[in-house]
């Protein structure tokens, strides 16, 4: 079985290649994206705990992570 972390890494790599990155640029963008996985998951877990305790109905992606702007 492939780990979830490896699956995320593969998806990130495929996406960056599709965006046209290669060589050192690919490596640097990959490291940046991978480093954001754990903080994102931890933020989701904290939000789930908060919602469970408060009885809130739901929260949006932007509520958890803020507005996401794509790099060009």
Q: Which domain holds residue 23?
A: 4-65
Q: Does residue 20 lie within any of the structural domains?
A: yes
Q: What is residue 72's predicted lDDT score, i.e. its pLDDT? A: 62
- Which helix (H) or strand (E) segment holds residue 36: the answer is none
In the block, tokens 């990155």 appear at: 21
Residue 50 has pLDDT above 80, yes or no: yes
Q: Does residue 13 lie within any of the structural domains?
A: yes
Sign of CA dihedral 62, 40, 10, 17: positive
Average pLDDT rounded to a whole number, residues 39-45: 89
Q: Does residue 45 lie within any of the structural domains?
A: yes
Model confidence at 33, in pLDDT bands (50, 70, 90)? very high
Average pLDDT rounded to a whole number, residues 9-24: 95
Q: How many domains does the chain have?
A: 1
Contact call for residues 31 and 56 (beta carbons, < 8 A): no
Q: Does residue 44 lie within any of the structural domains?
A: yes
What would the 3-class secondary structure string for 3-51 be? CHHHHHHHHHHHHHHHCCCCHHHHHHHHHHHHHCHHHHHHHHHHHHHHH
More confident of the two residues 34 and 51: 34
Q: What is residue 10's predicted lDDT score, i.e. its pLDDT? A: 92
Q: Does residue 15 lie within any of the structural domains?
A: yes
């Amino acid at each position: 079985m492939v780990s979830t972390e490896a699956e995320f890494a593969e998806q990130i790599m495929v996406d960056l290649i599709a965006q046209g990155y290669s060589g050192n640029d690919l490596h640097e963008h990959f490291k940046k994206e991978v480093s954001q996985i754990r903080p994102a998951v931890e933020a989701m877990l904290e939000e789930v705990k908060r919602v469970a305790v408060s009885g809130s109905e739901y929260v949006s992606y932007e509520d958890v992570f803020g507005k996401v702007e794509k790099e060009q």
